[in-house]
């Protein structure tokens, strides 16, 4: 059963989203700050982190950037789950490394479909590969010669 963590300072929205995801067969919990999310992620890595952009203290986008710079969490799937609706907000989240972006208020069926889509797209990948092994694998793949004795990059 995939584990999902929601970080959202609006407790009502976080609880509603959590209940929708639990009813859909996921294990789900929520916290109200990015700092609490960071602590929880370090204790037990979820399979998906849903981040609100606007939270007191550290923003969701800042936490996303911290995750992407971390050797332990660079590959943790993240969905931005925010009231921001602009195209620029969406693009900024994807550029920063989010797998998806869902605006609030949300439709429960849409939330479940988007979460399932993330898991479906990542189904053939291992849950986590440490950064050193991932870089070593990429380096080896880049060094394999192709049929014309050129390097495949």
Is the pLDDT at 101 greater than 80? The verdict is: yes
Structure token digits, residue 150: 């050129």
Number of domains in the chain: 1
At 18, is the pLDDT very low, low, confident or very high (cuts 50, 70, 90)? very high
Evaluate whether residue 143 is within a structural domain. Answer: no
Phi, psi of 9 (to 5 degrees): -75, -10
Evaluate whether residue 133 is within a structural domain. Answer: no
Evaluate whether residue 150 is within a structural domain. Answer: no
Is the pLDDT at 149 greater than 60? The verdict is: no
pLDDT tens for each residue of 68-99? 999 899 999 999 988 876 777 778 888 888 99
Evaluate whether residue 147 is within a structural domain. Answer: no
Evaluate whether residue 135 is within a structural domain. Answer: no
At 145, is the pLDDT very low, low, confident or very high (cuts 50, 70, 90)? low
Evaluate whether residue 138 is within a structural domain. Answer: no
Q: Structural domain of residue 32, as residue ranges?
A: 3-127
What's the pTM?
A: 0.79
CATH code (residue 75): 3.40.50.2300
Evaluate whether residue 94 is within a structural domain. Answer: yes
- Give pLDDT, residue 76: 94
C-alpha atoms less than 13 angstroms from C-alpha of 92 in its C-beta half-sphere: 12
Q: Which 3 state secondary structure label does DSSP give 22?
A: helix
- Give pLDDT, residue 131: 59
Q: Which of 71, 44, 50 is nearest to 129 (CA)?
A: 71
Evaluate whether residue 42 is within a structural domain. Answer: yes
- Give pLDDT, residue 50: 97
- Give pLDDT, residue 34: 95
Structure token digits, residue 32: 């109200």
């Amino acid at each position: 059963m995939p584990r999902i963590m929601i970080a959202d300072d609006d407790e009502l929205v976080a609880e509603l989203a959590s209940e929708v995801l639990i009813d859909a067969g996921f294990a789900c919990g929520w916290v109200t700050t990015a700092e609490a999310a960071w602590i929880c992620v370090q204790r037990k890595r979820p399979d998906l982190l849903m981040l609100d952009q606007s939270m007191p203290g550290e923003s969701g986008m800042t936490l996303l950037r911290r995750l992407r710079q971390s050797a332990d969490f660079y590959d943790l799937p993240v969905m931005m789950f925010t009231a921001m609706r602009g195209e620029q907000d969406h693009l900024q989240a994807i550029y920063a490394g989010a797998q998806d972006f869902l605006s609030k208020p949300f439709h429960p069926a849409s939330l479940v479909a988007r979460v399932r889509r993330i898991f479906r797209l990542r189904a053939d990948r291992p849950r986590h590969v440490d950064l050193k092994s991932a870089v070593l694998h990429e380096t080896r793949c880049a060094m394999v010669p192709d049929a014309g004795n050129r390097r495949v990059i």
